[in-house]
Structure 1
Amino acid sequence: MRDPLPGGVGVSRLCVYDTVTPDGLPGGTPHIHLCCTEAYVVTGGRGSVQTLSGRGFAEHELRAGAVLWFTPGTVHRLVNESDLTIVVVMSNSGLPEAGDAVLTFPPEVLADPDWYAAESALPGGGAPGTDVTTAYRRRDRAIEGFQELRAAVERHGPRAMTEFYAAAAALKRPLLDQWRTRWEDGAYRSAQSTGVQLDALARGDTSHLRDARVNALQRPTEEGRLGMCGLLDTYVPGHHT
């Protein structure tokens, strides 16, 4: 078993979808995370990310070498202008895979857990080799809701996000105990280990340094999974490749 990634983060490589959505822009599916901060390290191509948050609507350019990150509650939508590729770093490794994402479907879908589940599901969970048209259909449905939400924010300001946030939280409430366990076993445990090491060093105890080791993954654990924003190559330390 390999050690966790630093700080209990998750890492994946993302090739952003390049087909055109209903509003004429090629790219990914707008969504939020409820508990995870997300970072983009742009490795190639060009594009942008559109966001909705407590500060309203914004659009940020993405070019190779750029780094951008955002906190929970930020609706984000990637736009692919030309071969946009990104290394994604996500806090609380395992939480996004455990459901910490809500797509911006129209309000009537968000209000009905069964309807939301049907609209958001992918065959085989989006496993490599799955027909991508299902992911495109899900994305385009979320674009509808994103356009409505953006228009409401532009008319009424950030308070227009309140109902969306409430619906998102209600959808994920049944998963919170599972999320807490993942956090405790991952990022929280990683942070605690630093405190243990600091206490040991203060006592002059360097025994943990003798346990130093190197971990490596020569290739992604899984390649080509259908994600919300594009094709994902994921790196999971606990698996062998």
Structure 2
Amino acid sequence: MSGFPGGTAVSLVSVYDWPTVDGQAGGSPHLHTASTEGYVVVGGTGAVETLSGNGYERHELKRGTVLWFTPGTVHRAVNGSGDLQIVVVMQNAGIPEAGDAVFTFPEATLADPEAYRAAATAPAAEGLTESERGEATRARRDLAIEGYLALRERVGAEGPAAMKPLWDKAAQLVSSRAETWRRIWAAGPRAQADATGAHLDALERADATHLCDAHAGSAGDAVAKWGMCGRLETWDLRP
């Protein structure tokens, strides 16, 4: 068995303290199409606003809060204290990094694949300084907030059924990536589950062969990035 346990990814997020048009500070609302995301709050206070099959909900965050979001759940991290810090545990390491997230941009942007791609990837453009990447990340966040606030209003008026157009558009935007994601999943999470099954078969026979490969693993130093919800410290934990 190789890679981080469970084929998961882990990152440390310092949630943005940039204010938005509704007076709250935080990151870009988005959803994941194939992966569940978990929060373990390690410092500060704030909230996560979600839009899902349960409609609109607000979940308060403080140190020790553990919360997770299944695929399709729009989530918006809100930095209440200015120092909200979260350990994010991401299912299917490698798939989120390969475009699993879809931002809640306005409908016109979501309807135009090229416009969506340009807005979603703007902070990664070549030749930008760190300051310019931060500005591009904030502009992307503001565009996602614009679409999110309109969507939240529709969900409030129409109920969870108002989410269906976004879910349909999200599936359309990522459909061409599913084959690549399947390979990532097979080499990571599925391979680890299969290895556990093989280990249990061996233990049932009192066969300790796999224990002879015991070792410790280390991811090395973290890499700093401009993320969707905040400044990230990430590690490559794939096999």
Task: Indicate the TM-score class for this superposition, using the shorter chain for normalisation.
Answer: over 0.9
Say whether residues 1:108 and 2:117 are aligned partners. Answer: no
Residue 212 of structure 2: aligned partner = 210
- Which aligned runs of 4 or more in structure 1 are off by greater than 2 angstroms? 122-131, 216-219
CA displacement at 1:109 relative to structure 2: 0.8
Residue 149 of structure 1: aligned partner = 151
Find the aligned partners of 1:193 and 1:30 in 2 and give their Cα distance: 36
Residue 94 of structure 2: aligned partner = 94
CA displacement at 1:3 relative to structure 2: 3.1
Find the aligned partners of 1:34 and 1:217 in 2 and give their Cα distance: 26
Find the aligned partners of 2:62 and 2:188 in 1 and give their Cα distance: 31
1:98 partner letter: A
CA displacement at 1:125 relative to structure 2: 5.7
Find the aligned partners of 1:10 and 1:105 in 2 and give their Cα distance: 25
2:43 partner letter: G
Residue 118 of structure 1: aligned partner = 118
Q: Which stretch shows the higher mean deviation, 194-203 or 211-220?
A: 211-220
Residue 193 of structure 1: aligned partner = 195
Q: CA RMSD in A?
A: 1.8
Find the aligned partners of 1:171 and 1:154 in 2 and give their Cα distance: 25
Whether the 8 Å contact between 1:49 and 1:59 is mirrored in structure 2 is yes
CA displacement at 1:124 relative to structure 2: 3.1
CA displacement at 1:238 relative to structure 2: 5.4
Q: 1:187-219: CA deviations, max 9, x gaps?
A: 111111000111111122110011110112453
Q: Secondary structure at the match of 1:72?
A: coil
Whether the 8 Å contact between 1:128 and 1:226 is mirrored in structure 2 is no
Whether the 8 Å contact between 1:43 and 1:87 is mirrored in structure 2 is yes
Residue 34 of structure 2: aligned partner = 35
Q: Secondary structure at the match of 1:170?
A: helix
Whether the 8 Å contact between 1:8 and 1:187 is mirrored in structure 2 is yes
Q: Secondary structure at the match of 1:57?
A: strand
Distance 1:27 1:176, change over 3 A: same
Unaligned runs of 5+ in 2: none
Q: Secondary structure at the match of 1:12?
A: strand
Residue 11 of structure 2: aligned partner = 12
Find the aligned partners of 1:23 and 1:111 in 2 and give their Cα distance: 25
Q: Secondary structure at the match of 1:20?
A: coil
2:177 partner letter: L
Find the aligned partners of 1:190 and 1:96 in 2 and give their Cα distance: 18
Distance 1:128 1:194, change over 3 A: farther
Residue 69 of structure 1: aligned partner = 68
Q: Which stretch shows the higher mean deviation, 124-133 or 164-173?
A: 124-133
Whether the 8 Å contact between 1:11 and 1:87 is mirrored in structure 2 is yes
Q: Secondary structure at the match of 2:2?
A: coil
CA displacement at 1:113 relative to structure 2: 0.4
Whether the 8 Å contact between 2:2 and 2:192 is mirrored in structure 1 is no
- Percent identity between the two aligned chains: 48
Find the aligned partners of 1:113 and 1:134 in 2 and give their Cα distance: 19
CA displacement at 1:167 relative to structure 2: 0.5
Unaligned runs of 5+ in 1: none
Whether the 8 Å contact between 1:3 and 1:237 is mirrored in structure 2 is no
CA displacement at 1:130 relative to structure 2: 5.3
